[in-house]
């Protein structure tokens, strides 16, 4: 597969995630859209990792593990973010019984 | 005492110590002690300044570097003082007049609570410290530090009596106008750094004169830098269009007006231009601009002063006008004359302000001259010294003002008779409003309340002694600059300052007018001024310019038919003019301009606030759109 | 490495102290002792004594610049603790946990100051961000705090996504995450690199609240408990800036022709938005959050210029800005009324505090003889040295003049207005404030002896 | 068309369709389910790219743990109805257009990058195996690995601080 396919696929997923963040009001869905963005990144990282592996193989070298490990770390971070993020959303819900971000407008000016 | 110049750091150090002691311990100290510390520190500075001056007079001058303030690669700004003819004269003026005003303040501010008394002296000492830094610094950055410092102290002192909201506004106005000037100054500094990679006077002024392959500044650079510096000067020295803060600054205590808003801080702009005189000499366009701005300010402020009834406001506009005079001198390339006038002006204007303070003190805080009159009977010393001040500022021969003013006018005549004419007219206006002020305040009958009349008294010695000293200085101060047409080679100030302006003089060339012309010019101005003085004296002592006096004036109407005529053809138009300038120029044009900037900022602020809607979605959308825009430009337009 | 290791250890210790210690004052003392210890080990490392050594496989480098940054961050946090540790009690009930999170944030800051691999950079940024979301929402029953926390979180993870996409595209072009192996110079720069770099620019602009990615800042700073706003707006921001600058200097230095213009535009926008909007604010807390945007604009100038003056200047700026802002926030946190009127007459009730506060404000406004002036001067000089974009310099000077207007409103309220504003302050608080003010003045006067020796070998 | 190309095409369509459904579903529960489908498709891509370990981790961690957590929270809040009021239509449109344009711009910019000939070959390569990744992770990447423990600790402390009832 030409790498450009993966780039386009990944950017498409990423942009869908952005559109989701822009169009939805439910904080949980927005968060899920961010997860989608992160997964798009992961996919592209793995594809690039494979690409660099192939490129290095021609010279008899091994490369590309770093990309996959980065994905692993992104998953770690994502898990941490989810635990904190859902806690915050639940806290918000406990107070205003809604997860609609449009209600987050006490702070302005 | 091999080289007193190495002790130069003591000069600003004493006021700094005074500031710290008074500022930190003001609750523990009592008033006399605060006064002694406050005044004593300035006296100590004055003594060191005097020793330095004597040394400089013997030909010593030096740049003393203490430590490296900023250094980045090959660029460095040392914390250094430059002691030469120009700075030593300013040191004497600042510490000398400053000391007198400190002494005066011990009595004038005596009714304040101890804590405020201490605060006042702390600010005043801090001001002197900053002013000394401004004058002594060996580069533009140190000057800028002092420059900001004096602005800050002025701000604090104008707002000293914070109980009145309008004082607050005045402090703000002063601050903002000064900031506008400072802005230009700072940009000029960076322009200089960009060109010379140094801010030391020695390096910059040397670079300015380099020609040929070594040329550093193009004509455009020079003009740009000098104009920006001049804008800085207009802010601090209250010139058009940034002058309106100075009359408002009279909200501060009177000694502050005398020290900061008459004798020292407002002359910082003149010092700056005199310091960088070569830059200005090399850009004739800027010199012309300065000439006309100075002239216009002198005239405008003088006309406005005609109509003022607040004793301090008259003096304030008079200060603006005299500062315009100094800029006129700078514009004609007469740097020495400008410094000369700074000096004499420091004496007589400080005297006048302190005298007015004495009057206000006696009148129990009343500042309206319509409610005064006849004070000469009650306050002999104040009356006499004030009169000397008026005579000096009017330019009566024999007093200091005459010499410096005459020198400026002579230089104006060399440049153009038109400028001379306007300058002379302004001088006549000055004489007129000063004697209107004097006559209304000190002559005639007392028009205040009975209670006030009962309390009228001469001020205590701490007030009168500085008045007397300043009066003596106002008389003899001019004799350091006896013009050549009276006695050849007697202009000792000229010869003293010649090293500072030597290069400028070579470039500008010596344009002398014949002695007979000078005699004639001096004669004309003297005669006209004396006529105006006598006219104003008789007119306002008999018929003070007040509404209450109309009945009294009516009685005299027939006898003074001539007076009526004068009234119609001279005084009324003049007063109309004054009113016009006050109303139209100042309130609409200049204040409008300055307020407009403020309103614009406020408007922008309100509009920007709307974007901050509080909605996450909108924020992210704006972020995404910005990203989109940058990407689009980067990838499709920037190739 | 010393500071990084022990900050993590102390985070854990504080976590247990929350369970084991009953007295809040004991926790406070422990936290302050911990910070002192961090300072000690960091200074030891500066003198060559590395207590803990790990093989980081070239992913981190604790050079003098990084160590100096650490020192600044630790000292600022120490002062922050001395001034505000007591006020943290007011934020919420989990006193010990807050200290834990602050120690962890510091660990993240050390990572960001010394990364040599984009992976470490990313982890550092996340270790800073995640505890911040929590600290913002510490005041659980306060809806404003809740709201700020959720807003910060949603926008923060969004920007994390952007950052990761940027790192990925860079990886695609360079085949490595290591700064040394990025090799971005040369004739044909891949569009991948440019796109990735811009995405990183956006996400970092978000983190340091540069316009137009600043929108979260006023809301979050306003909503968060004031003590934590103080921490976020100062130490964290300084750390993020150092990371931002290191990233663009070391990784993308060769591409500066591409990003310099954008940084200039962002700088101008940030200065404009921050200063102009601050003028209209009625609450000092909100004014300070806009002012933090404005100050970020100035710090961005270091990024723009990226020369010796800039690198030296950003350290000074970080220190000057952090110190002054910590001081103001520490006082603000103890005020009952956050509006400008709330400060009326403070000078009469608490002259010493008002005077030190004035010095802090003067420093922020860039008045000479304070550290703030010198720091601004360095920034402007740095821009000047680049020889391009002189308009940016003029614009910055103009905006600095505007800033004086809103900063001086506080001084005006304290000194020139009638009122009975007062705060409770013990001797420690006052002494620390005086030390803070003295530091600001000393840094402004004798910067030479503090900084030059340490960094010259690096730049 | 080889089998890998067909697989690629199918997985791509599934991933994109799932993603579209995530952001268009009115019911949050459906969104979660569609997102899980997308993750499965992405895991399929990982396998095509010889990243077997990540494929498994993606399913276990993301689809298995994280999404279940989401589901759990949604159920807890009783949001399993189509209750979400719709955002302002203009803003929605602006969002779609903005996101779409961003995609177009990025794709257009990256369309003709000069690494086109680097093919992400399918079918061989062993770095994605657990053994190799594990070795790397615990040798070269051991410091970041340890550092991520700070991240987890802070997340844990944070979740407790936020979640604890007063």
Q: Mutation test of the interface with chain D: which of A51, A66, A72, choosing the one with the most D Cβ atoms within 10 A?
A: A72
Least confident window among B85-99, C179-193, C370-384:
C179-193
pLDDT of C441-453, one tens digit each? 888 877 665 555 4
D111 and D70 assigned to the same domain: yes
Higher pLDDT, B300 or D34: D34
Say what percent of chain B tops pLDDT 90: 24
D106 and D25 assigned to the same domain: yes
Higher pLDDT, C119 or B461: C119
- Mean of pLDDT values over A59-69: 84
- Mean of pLDDT values over C385-389: 83
D118 and D146 assigned to the same domain: no
Work out the pLDDT band at B215, boundaries 50, 70, 90.
confident
Q: Which residue of chain C comes nearest to D110, CA vs CA?
A: C191
**CB C177, CB A45: distance < 8 Å:** no
Q: Please state, as a whole number, how many other Cβ atoms lie within 10 Å of the Cβ of residue B212.
A: 5
Higher pLDDT, B214 or B592: B214
Work out the pLDDT band at A45, boundaries 50, 70, 90.
very high
CA distance C436 to B378: 54
CA distance B557 to B555: 5
Half-sphere exposure of C75 (CA within 13 A, CB side): 16
D75 touches chain A (CB under 8 A): no
Give the per-residue SS3 of chain A. CEHHHHHHHHHHHHHHHHHHHHHCCEHHHHHHHHHHHHHHHHHHHHHHHHHHHHHHHHCCCCCCHHHHHHHHHHHHHHHHHHHHHHHHHHHHHHHHCCCEHHHCCCCCC
The enclosing domain of D81 has a CATH number of 1.20.120.1200
Q: At what angle do helices C256-279 and B591-611 cross, to 10 degrees?
A: 110
Q: D24: domain range? A: 3-128
For residue C49, is it left (φ>0), alpha (ψ between -120 and 50) or beta?
beta
Domains annotated for chain A, with CATH where assigned, are: 3-106 (1.10.287.3510)
Question: Number of Cβ pairs closer than 8 Å across C and D?
Answer: 92
pLDDT value of position B398: 84
Take residue D37 and report the two structure tokens written for it. Answer: 């489908």
- Contacting subunits of B (3+ beta carbon pairs below 8 A): A, C, D
D153 touches chain A (CB under 8 A): no
Distance from CA of D110 to the nearest CA of B (A): 10
Take residue C128 and report the two structure tokens written for it. Answer: 């800073």
Q: Provide, as residue numbers in chain D, all residues whose Cβ is less than 8 Å from the Cβ of B635.
A: 105, 108-109
Residues 6 or more apart in contact with residue C271 via CB below 8 angstroms: C294, C297, C298, C395, C396, C399
Take residue B374 and report the two structure tokens written for it. Answer: 């006849």
Whether residues B631 and D105 touch (CB distance < 8 A) is answered with yes
Q: Which of B144, B162, B616 lies nearest to residue C151, judging by beta carbons?
A: B616
D44 and D121 assigned to the same domain: yes
D84 and D149 assigned to the same domain: no
pLDDT of B137-189, one tens digit each? 999 999 998 998 888 888 888 877 766 666 666 677 777 778 778 888 989 99
Is the pLDDT at C219 greater than 60, yes or no?
yes
Work out the pLDDT band at C359, boundaries 50, 70, 90.
very high
Q: Which of D91, D105, D108 lies nearest to residue B628, judging by beta carbons?
A: D105
D124 and D58 assigned to the same domain: yes
Least confident window among B405-409, B607-611, C1-5, C65-69:
B607-611
- Mean of pLDDT values over B282-290: 90
CA B203 from centre of chain:
28
- Mean of pLDDT values over B199-220: 84
Q: Provide, as residue numbers in chain A, all residues whose Cβ is less than 8 Å from the Cβ of D144.
A: 73
Interface residues of B toward A, Cβ cutoff 8 Å, are 609, 612-617, 620-621, 624
D47 and D88 assigned to the same domain: yes
Whether residues D54 and A65 touch (CB distance < 8 A) is answered with no
Work out the pLDDT band at C103, boundaries 50, 70, 90.
very high
pLDDT value of position B556: 37
**CB C198, CB B634: distance < 8 Å:** yes
- From the list B147, B146, B145, B169, the residue with the least C-alpha distance to B158 is B169
Work out the pLDDT band at A4, boundaries 50, 70, 90.
confident
Q: Provide, as residue numbers in chain C, all residues whose Cβ is less than 8 Å from the Cβ of D148.
A: 123
CA distance B485 to B507: 23
Least confident window among A44-48, B531-535, B594-598, C400-404:
B594-598
Is the pLDDT at C371 greater than 50, yes or no?
yes
pLDDT value of position B563: 47
Q: Which of C158, C373, C401 lies nearest to residue B620, judging by beta carbons?
A: C158
Secondary structure (3-state) at B368: strand
- Mean of pLDDT values over B267-280: 91
Assess: ipTM above 0.95: no
CB contacts under 8 A, B 272-311 vs C, are: none
- Mean of pLDDT values over C344-364: 89
pLDDT of D2-48, one tens digit each? 888 899 999 999 999 999 999 998 888 999 999 999 999 999 999 98
Is the pLDDT at C457 greater than 50, yes or no?
no
Whether residues D162 and C107 touch (CB distance < 8 A) is answered with no
Is the pLDDT at B287 greater than 60, yes or no?
yes
pLDDT value of position B379: 85
Alpha-carbon dihedral D27, D32, D34, D39, rounded to 10 degrees: 170
Whether residues A1 and D58 touch (CB distance < 8 A) is answered with no
- Contacting subunits of A (3+ beta carbon pairs below 8 A): B, C, D
- From the list B45, B489, B500, B461, the residue with the least C-alpha distance to B275 is B500
Alpha-carbon dihedral B366, B368, B369, B373, rounded to 10 degrees: -40
- Mean of pLDDT values over D125-130: 78
Q: Which of C219, C308, C408 lies nearest to residue B72, judging by beta carbons?
A: C308
* Range among A14-18, B401-405, B522-526 with highest mean pLDDT value: A14-18
pLDDT of B558-578, one tens digit each? 334 444 555 566 566 666 766
Q: Where are the domains of chain B?
A: 567-638
Is the pLDDT at B360 greater than 90, yes or no?
no
* pTM for the whole structure: 0.88
Total of domains in chain D: 2
Work out the pLDDT band at D124, boundaries 50, 70, 90.
low
pLDDT of B338-352, one tens digit each? 999 999 999 999 999
CB contacts under 8 A, C 386-405 vs A, are: none
CA distance B571 to B538: 14
Is the pLDDT at B550 greater than 70, yes or no?
no
Distance from CA of C237 to the nearest CA of A (A): 20
């Amino acid at each position: 597969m030409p790498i450009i396919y993966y780039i386009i696929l990944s950017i498409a997923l990423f942009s869908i995630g952005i559109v989701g963040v822009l169009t939805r009001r439910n904080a949980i869905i927005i968060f899920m859209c961010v997860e989608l963005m992160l997964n798009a990144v992961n996919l592209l990282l793995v594809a690039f990792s494979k690409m660099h592996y192939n490129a290095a193989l021609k010279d008899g070298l091994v490369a590309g593990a770093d990309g996959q490990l980065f994905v692993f770390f992104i998953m770690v971070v994502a898990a941490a973010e989810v635990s904190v993020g859902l806690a915050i959303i639940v806290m918000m819900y406990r107070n205003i019984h809604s997860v609609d971000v449009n209600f987050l407008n006490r702070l302005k000016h | 005492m091999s080289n007193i110049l190495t002790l130069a750091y003591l000069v600003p150090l004493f006021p700094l110590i005074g500031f710290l002691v008074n500022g930190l311990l003001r609750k523990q100290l009592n008033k006399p002690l605060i006064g002694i510390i406050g005044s004593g520190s300035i006296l100590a500075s004055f003594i060191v300044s005097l020793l330095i001056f004597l040394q400089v007079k013997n030909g010593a001058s030096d740049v003393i570097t203490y430590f490296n303030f900023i250094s980045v690669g090959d660029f460095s700004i040392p914390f250094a003082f430059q002691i030469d003819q120009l700075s030593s004269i300013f040191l004497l003026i600042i510490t000398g007049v400053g000391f007198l005003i400190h002494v005066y303040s011990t009595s004038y501010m005596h009714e304040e609570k101890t804590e405020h008394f201490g605060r006042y002296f702390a600010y005043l000492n801090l001001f002197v410290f900053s002013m000394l830094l401004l004058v002594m610094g060996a580069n533009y950055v140190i000057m800028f530090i002092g420059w900001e410092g004096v602005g800050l102290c002025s701000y604090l002192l104008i707002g000293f009596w914070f109980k009145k909201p309008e004082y607050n506004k005045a402090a703000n106005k002063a601050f903002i106008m000064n900031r506008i000037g400072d802005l230009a100054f700072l940009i000029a500094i960076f322009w200089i750094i960009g060109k010379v990679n140094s801010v030391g006077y020695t390096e910059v002024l040397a670079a300015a004169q380099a020609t040929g392959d070594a040329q550093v500044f193009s004509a455009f650079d020079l003009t740009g830098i000098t104009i920006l510096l001049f804008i800085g000067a207009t802010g601090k020295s209250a010139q058009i269009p940034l002058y309106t803060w100075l009359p408002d600054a009279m909200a501060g205590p009177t000694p502050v007006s005398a020290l900061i808003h008459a004798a020292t801080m407002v002359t910082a702009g003149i010092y700056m231009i005199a310091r960088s005189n070569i830059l200005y000499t090399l850009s004739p366009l800027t010199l012309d601009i300065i000439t006309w701005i100075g002239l216009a300010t002198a005239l405008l402020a003088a006309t406005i002063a005609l109509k003022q009834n607040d004793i301090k406001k008259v003096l304030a506009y008079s200060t603006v006008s005299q500062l315009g005079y100094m800029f006129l001198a700078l514009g004609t390339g007469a740097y020495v004359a400008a410094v000369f006038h700074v000096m004499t002006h420091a004496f007589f204007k400080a005297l006048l302000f302190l005298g007015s303070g004495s009057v206000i003190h006696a009148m129990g805080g009343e500042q309206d001259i319509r409610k005064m009159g006849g004070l000469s009977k009650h306050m002999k010393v104040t009356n006499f010294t004030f009169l000397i001040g008026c005579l000096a500022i009017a330019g009566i021969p024999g007093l200091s003002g005459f010499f410096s003013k005459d020198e400026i006018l002579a230089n104006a005549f060399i440049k153009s008779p038109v400028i001379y004419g306007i300058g002379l007219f302004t001088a006549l206006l000055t004489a007129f409003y000063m004697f209107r002020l004097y006559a209304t305040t000190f002559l005639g009958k007392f028009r205040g309340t009975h209670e006030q009349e009962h309390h009228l008294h001469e001020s205590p010695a701490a007030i009168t002694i500085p008045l007397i000293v300043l009066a003596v200085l106002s008389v003899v101060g001019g004799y350091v600059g006896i013009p050549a047409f009276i006695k050849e080679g007697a202009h000792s100030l000229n010869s003293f300052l010649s090293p500072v302006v030597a290069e400028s003089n070579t470039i500008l060339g010596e344009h002398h007018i014949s002695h007979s012309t000078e005699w004639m010019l001096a004669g004309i101005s003297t005669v006209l001024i004396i006529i105006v003085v006598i006219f104003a004296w008789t007119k306002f002592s008999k018929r003070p310019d007040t509404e209450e006096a109309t009945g009294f004036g009516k009685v005299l109407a027939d006898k003074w038919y001539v007076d009526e005529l004068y009234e119609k053809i001279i005084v009324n138009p003049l007063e109309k003019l004054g009113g016009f300038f006050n109303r139209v120029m100042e309130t609409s044009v200049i204040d409008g301009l300055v307020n407009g900037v403020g309103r614009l900022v406020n408007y922008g602020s309100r509009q920007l606030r709307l974007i901050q809607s509080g909605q996450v979605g909108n924020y992210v959308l704006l972020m995404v759109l910005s990203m989109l825009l940058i990407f689009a430009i980067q990838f499709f337009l920037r190739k | 490495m010393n500071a990084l290791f022990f900050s993590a250890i102390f985070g854990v210790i504080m976590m247990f102290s929350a369970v084991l210690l009953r007295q809040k004052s004991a926790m406070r003392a422990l936290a302050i002792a911990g910070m002192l210890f961090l300072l000690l080990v960091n200074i030891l490392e500066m003198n060559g004594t590395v207590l803990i050594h790990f093989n980081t496989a070239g992913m981190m480098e604790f050079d003098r610049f990084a160590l100096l940054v650490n020192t600044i961050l630790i000292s600022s946090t120490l002062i922050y603790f001395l001034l505000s540790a007591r006020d943290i009690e007011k934020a919420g009930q989990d006193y010990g946990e807050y200290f834990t999170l602050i120690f962890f944030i510091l660990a993240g800051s050390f990572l960001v100051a010394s990364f040599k691999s984009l992976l470490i950079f990313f982890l550092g940024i996340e270790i800073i961000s995640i505890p911040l979301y929590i600290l913002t929402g510490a005041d659980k029953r306060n809806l404003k705090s809740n709201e700020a926390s959720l807003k910060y979180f949603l926008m923060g993870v969004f920007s994390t996504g952007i950052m990761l996409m940027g790192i990925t595209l860079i990886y695609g072009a360079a085949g490595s995450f290591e700064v040394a192996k990025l090799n971005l110079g040369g004739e044909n720069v891949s569009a991948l690199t440019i796109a990735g770099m811009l995405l990183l620019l956006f996400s970092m602009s978000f983190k340091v609240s540069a316009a137009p990615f600043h929108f979260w800042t006023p809301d979050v700073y306003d909503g968060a408990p004031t003590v934590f706003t103080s921490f976020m707006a100062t130490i964290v921001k300084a750390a993020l800036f150092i990371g931002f600058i290191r990233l663009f200097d070391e990784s993308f230095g060769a591409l500066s022709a591409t990003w310099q213009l954008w940084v200039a535009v962002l700088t101008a926008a940030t200065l404009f938005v921050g200063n102009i909007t601050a003028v209209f604010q009625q609450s000092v807390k909100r004014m300070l959050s806009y002012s933090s945007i404005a100050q970020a604009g100035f710090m961005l100038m270091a990024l723009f210029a990226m020369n010796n003056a800039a690198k030296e200047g950003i350290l000074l700026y970080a220190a000057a800005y952090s110190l002054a802002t910590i001081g103001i926030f520490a006082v603000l946190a103890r005020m009952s009324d956050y509006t400008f009127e709330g400060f009326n007459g403070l000078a009469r009730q608490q002259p010493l505090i008002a005077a030190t506060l004035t010095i802090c404000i003067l420093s922020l406004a860039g008045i000479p003889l304070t550290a703030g002036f010198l720091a601004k001067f360095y920034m402007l000089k740095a821009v000047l040295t680049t020889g391009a974009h002189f308009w940016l310099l003029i614009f910055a000077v103009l905006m600095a003049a505007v800033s004086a207007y809103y900063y001086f409103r506080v001084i005006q309220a304290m000194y020139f207005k009638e009122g009975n504003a007062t705060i409770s302050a013990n001797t420690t608080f006052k002494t620390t404030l005086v030390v803070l003010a003295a530091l600001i003045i000393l840094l402004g006067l004798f910067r030479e002896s503090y900084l030059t020796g340490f960094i010259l070998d690096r730049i | 068309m080889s089998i890998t190309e067909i697989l690629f095409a199918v997985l791509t369509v599934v991933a994109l369709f799932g993603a579209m459904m995530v952001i268009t579903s009115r019911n949050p529960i459906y969104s979660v389910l569609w997102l899980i489908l997308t993750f499965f498709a992405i895991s399929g891509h990982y396998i095509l790219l010889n990243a077997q370990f990540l494929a498994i981790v993606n399913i276990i961690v993301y689809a298995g743990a994280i999404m279940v957590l989401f589901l759990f929270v949604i159920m807890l809040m009783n949001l399993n109805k189509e209750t979400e009021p719709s955002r302002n239509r203009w803003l929605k449109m602006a969002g779609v257009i903005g996101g779409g344009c961003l995609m177009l711009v990025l794709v257009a910019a990256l369309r003709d990058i000069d690494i086109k000939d680097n093919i992400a070959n399918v079918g061989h390569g062993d770095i994605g195996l657990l053994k190799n990744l594990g070795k790397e992770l615990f040798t070269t990447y051991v410091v970041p690995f340890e550092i991520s423990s700070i991240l987890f600790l802070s997340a844990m402390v944070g979740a407790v601080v936020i979640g604890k009832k007063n």
